[in-house]
């Protein structure tokens, strides 16, 4: 009998603690596994919510977590400390620092605090050896400058999560040895320029994610996203790189294991 199981793949960024998924975690994870998703990283965006995100990771095999203060929340949340993040990172299923970054689209008024928070998260990534998870929107120049300045001061690993910024920021990140993550945005019909940016990047620096419950790829666009749908984005990614799906899934999974070594299978 021929094996028709889907190729294993990882959802490198989702938000399982969001209320969109309340009461559905078992069914959600069953659908993800049926689609070949063997592991996922659920992201805590406000550190006061870290206990409930940690509990999700503890309760479910294949679920890991990361935590930080999202840039859009910096103005409303206490400024974290390096020691606080380092302490959280001792948990065996805590695998990344963030998401952190800069968002000048909705929250430009807190740019200074966002930059301070970003540098704190970078130092925590340095000290722990865990990868930094970056959110960047409408802040390309400051983002490239800070990431580069800090990398010169001491190396760290990083993924540009849900990458949808400029080719210049992509080049800056890749030059630092960082990774770019494809979300459902890359699968939207009008995202050809973004697909071209990914196509110009080395395949060994590409991850895939859902950012669920947001940014569902076609044919689910406009509806709630979920980890199972990372396979839809990966199918487009395979086309972008001229690979069959199983090869693209294997390559991006190997990339995930290299960057998120603590979550490696």
**What are the extents of the domains in the chain?**
9-216+226-238+253-263
pLDDT of 255 higher than 50: yes
117: CB partners within 8 A, 6+ apart: 69, 71, 74, 79, 80, 100
Buried b / exposed e along 221-242 (16+ C-beta atoms within 10 A): eeeebbbbbbbbbbebbbebbe
Per the rule left: phi > 0, alpha: psi between -120 and 50, beta: everything else, 6 is beta
Q: pLDDT class for 3, splitting at 50, 70, 90?
A: low
Q: pLDDT class for 1, splitting at 50, 70, 90?
A: very low
Instruction: Classify domain 9-216+226-238+253-263 at the CATH class level.
Output: alpha beta
pLDDT one-digit tens code per residue, 175-219: 999 999 999 999 999 999 999 999 999 999 999 999 999 999 999
According to DSSP, residue 212 is labeled B
Ordered alpha helix ranges (H), 163-244? 167-175, 192-199, 230-241
Structure tokens at 235: 């199918």
pLDDT of residue 2: 47
pLDDT one-digit tens code per residue, 45-79: 999 999 999 999 999 999 999 999 999 999 999 99
């Amino acid at each position: 009998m021929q094996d028709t199981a889907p190729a294993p793949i990882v959802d490198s960024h989702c938000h399982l603690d969001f209320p969109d998924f309340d009461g559905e975690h078992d069914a959600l994870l069953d659908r993800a596994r049926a689609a070949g998703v063997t592991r996922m990283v659920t992201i805590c965006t406000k550190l006061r919510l870290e206990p409930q995100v940690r509990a999700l990771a503890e309760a479910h095999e294949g679920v890991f977590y990361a935590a930080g203060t999202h840039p859009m929340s910096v103005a409303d949340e206490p400024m974290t400390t390096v020691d606080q993040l380092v302490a959280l990172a001792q948990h065996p299923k805590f695998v990344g620092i963030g998401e952190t970054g800069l968002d000048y689209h909705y929250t430009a008024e807190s740019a200074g605090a966002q930059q301070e928070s970003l540098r704190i998260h970078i130092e925590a990534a340095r000290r722990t050896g865990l990868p930094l998870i970056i959110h960047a929107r409408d802040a390309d120049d400051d983002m490239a400058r800070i990431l580069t300045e800090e990398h010169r001061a001491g190396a760290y690993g990083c993924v540009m999560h849900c990458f949808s910024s400029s080719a210049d920021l992509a080049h800056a990140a890749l030059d630092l040895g960082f990774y770019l993550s494809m979300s459902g945005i890359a699968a939207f019909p009008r995202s050809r320029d973004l697909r071209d940016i990914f196509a110009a990047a080395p395949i060994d620096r590409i991850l895939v994610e859902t950012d669920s419950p947001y940014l569902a790829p076609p044919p689910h666009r406009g509806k709630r996203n979920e980890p199972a749908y990372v396979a839809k984005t990966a199918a487009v990614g395979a086309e972008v790189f001229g690979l069959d799906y199983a090869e693209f899934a294997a390559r991006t999974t190997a990339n995930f294991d290299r960057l998120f070594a603590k979550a490696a299978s």
